[in-house]
Structure 1
């Protein structure tokens, strides 16, 4: 991409991240909502530590940009994006626990279980998980009931046993029994790909898109998920902790197989190029409106952290 486009994309990504962070900060207030009895301050502090700690907010950005491309409502897009980010951040808090990936750093900061304690980290993740569905169901998410129901239903499937959580279970099992290539692909599609696919599908649902557009954006999300995981695996073997903001080489150290370890760095980079091309072709019907999402695919494929 040329410098003008790069600056424009970076500004759009940063702007969306700020907007989502501002909404999340408001949603994570210590003031109880109607129907809540109280919000323990210590728990709220841990939740904020796990959510308001920077990050590119890529999943929310995919929601927001899909809605923008399709001409949907931005206010609703922000709330859907915030709900998805609650799910993502809860998963990071739990993944970092000693019983899981046992990480001390996340986005260059102490993980929640290090900054607080393990029990509080578990509860913070639990609370963020349930808050996500509260956000989608709330009347402040101004969407038709059918759209909100579809968003909730698809998020349940993407985040649950058949998606992200199931993928984490497969990932833990892979430390004991190395999966074959098909197993690696399924694991990654569930653990990482499911929420990225949902982000793009959610943007279509928020916009009231037809079935054909929903299917197209769902496929775009699948491609984004594949590219993200390939890029992540490349970073795991080529970067250090200072660059990543977390421990590098974790998968290699645990003996986990990846597509990079199977086929090599050059093959992975070639596959990334192909995925970006596929993503661009998928969005051709949207013309210039799809430019930022195509740039997002390129950004994911070439990211260095």
Structure 2
């Protein structure tokens, strides 16, 4: 079976009971880090041109931006801007570890999750599925290109596509794979474009477009990865590495305090945002999380 087909089957059947607590915990920390990055970027206007472009694209009111009271935009436009917001504060745009794919996968899940009115647990499962795929590919490929594949998997899962269409979404996303062309200029475009393209790929699959059945296998050959290595232990062993703070021995309490300090704004709102993200698996929707980012970024 092609690698994309195997991941499609796994993602379609994935439930919360299949996901170890350690993976949920590491993912929660990465989501907290990513959203705090986006709030900081919004507060200081790091990628205001991207926000301006996203608002100009407009579209049907499907998803909101991190830290901006711009109203709802089309999901691909929102994912584009949020991907740039999350990616803008990374100190070295050319160095991407396995956690950096979250700067693509999370904006996709936030946008599509709002579009389809997904519950928090559905969003969390989609993030974990997409991030796991990206982590399994990131060992060789040091760019955000793996994120578009994970993002397409997350989007297709949230759109409730069947296994064949999930496979097509990932295959189509492979056509959007590209490499960074160096540092300098506005920050975060690679992640932003990858997030928007991931949703486009899933929508193309939903509309009936076919992806190359062995497209991911071809990418693996390009990246000199063995398919059997990428798929090994899928569903049993997890490539999602522990969050760096965990490796440093940082407790959840200390980590949450550090996130609140980074967020700034109203300390009460910062604590509320951290609590909302911690409870994402039980959240009825993403609306309160996005609303809190706007208040914190505004410093009110």
- TM-score, normalised to structure 2, is 0.29
Rg larger in structure: 1
Please report the TM-score for the alignment, with normalisation by the length of structure 1: 0.28
Which structure has the higher relative contact order (CA within 8 Å, separation 6+)? 2
